[in-house]
Structure 1
């Protein structure tokens, strides 16, 4: 019997949770909560997961790691359900769990492999506690990334997804300060049989020229760009201490789509940031249409203790909730029109084990029942069913 690992939050946590499952294989009666602290709601869900896990496994040893284990350390340690905390920065170190250092790497749970190439963050966005939870930016050397991908491919993965807290800062702490484009180029050269390489969330202002060209022209780099955008108005972006302005995002997407029109855009957007007035909210709404955002992650702002934004004039909760709903509706409208435009077009779809799959542009499709997981099949959707192509 293996440890049970419960993952909350970002793709980084999902990737790290898979590594934890491999690391803790054979460890019975252990439950690990890999927590999130990006918003107050994420912390609430972490607490809820802890209570639920303790109720389901009353005799197990319950340990908490992840960002909330750093940011909310005292509060979580005081919970009667929790037996201990493991530092987020050390959660993949076998010594933190008192297990042998040699363990099988990864598990063949997914046809898409999330590959963590960078962790931590050196920036100081005024709303964010992630640097407190994950520490300074740290990059995996190219050789380590290639070994990781090789192992995933041996386990049947057909797509590698490069993940990081601040992915586009990869390489800044390595000798010679390589850029992310060099890593992507090295992966493509090392694995000519890797059919699909995807990037997780990126900071558009950090995209280097080589990476830009690979996104724009390399067929094996998926035409799907998820931007850490956060807002659509310059004054709010400055108060967030972001390093880009609205025009930078518009220019980037325009230049990329000019070379690769099928590129699908995703974005993180925050609703109700402190001092956001109706004009700022309108700018936030309008950037959804201007960039044609079809994959949207909408976050209602919630103050995190100790951050500069928590000391700024706050937007009423009801207004935040309403604005978040409007942003979600704007993205849903863009997405519906985008999906409708894909009906009748042949798409190369990587089949997952749950009966669905993703096209290169990250559109999700319902697959015929006989489709084998891990295969890339050509599907021409004829309709939209519950938000998925079919």
Structure 2
């Protein structure tokens, strides 16, 4: 039996389904594919640790390592004991590359986009609508690993969603590297907003559509109108922020400033009060002082960011940020710890505010599901996975809301 061990972003989890299909087409058995991530040094450390653990536990198991970390540094992965093959981002999706006897190292220059026919073991379906990135943030090596922006044609997206809906999926998540840059490379340059409107019109059976990380600087009027007024577009936005200090944002080469973020969140909240926000934050970026870090803390509070992904800055070779004056590692770790502690309090307050409300829940495994605002809720009665139910929120418990289903 084959296994795919996935690290990293939602796009990786989507592509892991393609890899499973490629293994089936290649008629491979007893293979473990480690789908790598290169967003931080810690991510790469965890990937290498997992490879060594697999090999130690079963030295006869064939291990194939694929993905972004391989794309950036294939030799360091092909040399790990137990690794039989490494495949870059384009090559990992092709069945023929998993056949025995092929080259041990296949790393082409760019990644490719693709659609899948089915999705395993999840209550919501992920769809890659875009891959790659045209921007050059000073801390990031993903552009090198994934290539330039490439959008999936709208007709292909609609076809894929129809397949998922026919197979019982009621929620679809759009994923990619920079999804708000969707369409810039397609004929007519359709925007993400115009694509979403077309999808919702052509697939009326789709109950819920959710967006992965978006960039405030790329949100146009069409997308804003949908965020505010379209009930099938879930009231939960995850923002690619990275910092709350304007000078650090400039040094990161981000295209927004703190004022734009706060204004955007306040405007959307005033027009759609049930919306919630998440964000990615890098703590301890080179040259970040205590005062600059405090700007980030203040922004998270001002914008009411509930779902926080906070990480210490990770020095990536061949990036401009790697040549800037570095913040000590212990300071980076302490700032992340402070952010996460603050977020626990904000999350607890948010969950308390939902007690007594009615929520629409997409049920996942073990009677746990997600509300439209992405709150995690445990249901007191057994409900079939993939179904959408209404629930009264009656309390909280260990990071969950507690919900009682009603008809």
Unpaired segments of 5 or more residues in structure 1? Answer: none
Contact map agreement 2:52 2:81 (CA 8 A) in 1: no
| Distance of 1:106 and 1:55 partners within structure 2 | 33
Deviation readout 1:165-222 (Å, 9 max, x if unpaired) = 1111111111111110011111101111111000000011101211110011100000
| Distance of 1:53 and 1:192 partners within structure 2 | 45
1:34 aligns with 2:46: no
- CA displacement at 1:23 relative to structure 2: 2.8
1:8 aligns with 2:20: no
Tell me, what secondary structure is at the counterpart of 1:83? strand
Q: After TM superposition, which residue ranges in structure 1, 4 or more long, deviate above 3 angstroms?
A: none
Contact map agreement 1:381 1:389 (CA 8 A) in 2: yes
What pairs with 1:150-165 in structure 2 (closer than 5 Å)? 150-165=162-177
1:255 aligns with 2:267: yes
Which 10-residue stretch deviates more, 106-115 or 334-343? Answer: 106-115
| Distance of 1:330 and 1:97 partners within structure 2 | 45
Partner of residue 215, structure 2: 203
What pairs with 1:126-205 in structure 2 (closer than 5 Å)? 126-205=138-217
1:221 aligns with 2:233: yes
What pairs with 1:284-363 in structure 2 (closer than 5 Å)? 284-363=296-375
Which 10-residue stretch deviates more, 362-371 or 278-287? Answer: 362-371
Partner of residue 17, structure 1: 16
Which 10-residue stretch deviates more, 223-232 or 77-86? Answer: 77-86
| Distance of 2:300 and 2:116 partners within structure 1 | 43
Of the three residues 368, 373, 377, the one matched with 1:365 is: 377
Change (3 A) 1:64 1:24: same
What pairs with 1:32-71 in structure 2 (closer than 5 Å)? 32-71=33-72
Partner of residue 91, structure 2: 90
| Distance of 1:188 and 1:170 partners within structure 2 | 16
| Distance of 1:37 and 1:104 partners within structure 2 | 24
- CA displacement at 1:104 relative to structure 2: 7.7
Contact map agreement 1:23 1:105 (CA 8 A) in 2: no
- CA displacement at 1:98 relative to structure 2: 4.5
Partner of residue 78, structure 2: 77
Partner of residue 278, structure 2: 266
Contact map agreement 2:193 2:226 (CA 8 A) in 1: yes
Deviation readout 1:342-383 (Å, 9 max, x if unpaired) = 011010001012321000000010123411111111111211
Change (3 A) 1:278 1:146: same
- CA displacement at 1:149 relative to structure 2: 1.1
Tell me, what secondary structure is at the counterpart of 1:24? helix
Change (3 A) 1:108 1:82: closer
Contact map agreement 2:7 2:37 (CA 8 A) in 1: yes
Instruction: Using structure 2 for the length normalisation, give the TM-score.
Output: 0.92
- CA displacement at 1:65 relative to structure 2: 0.8
- CA displacement at 1:387 relative to structure 2: 0.9
Tell me, what secondary structure is at the counterpart of 2:394? coil
Contact map agreement 2:17 2:120 (CA 8 A) in 1: no
Aligned length: 386
Which 10-residue stretch deviates more, 75-84 or 355-364? Answer: 75-84
Contact map agreement 1:76 1:82 (CA 8 A) in 2: yes
| Distance of 2:94 and 2:388 partners within structure 1 | 35
Deviation readout 1:240-270 (Å, 9 max, x if unpaired) = 0001111111111122111101110000001
Contact map agreement 2:28 2:98 (CA 8 A) in 1: no
| Distance of 2:266 and 2:119 partners within structure 1 | 39
| Distance of 2:135 and 2:313 partners within structure 1 | 19
Contact map agreement 2:28 2:99 (CA 8 A) in 1: no
Tell me, what secondary structure is at the counterpart of 2:287? coil
| Distance of 2:193 and 2:116 partners within structure 1 | 30
Deviation readout 1:11-46 (Å, 9 max, x if unpaired) = 111111122223323520211111001000000011
| Distance of 2:19 and 2:239 partners within structure 1 | 28
Which 10-residue stretch deviates more, 58-67 or 302-311? Answer: 58-67
- CA displacement at 1:151 relative to structure 2: 1.6
| Distance of 2:119 and 2:127 partners within structure 1 | 12
Deviation readout 1:70-122 (Å, 9 max, x if unpaired) = 122221122122111111123223343349xxx98223421200111111111
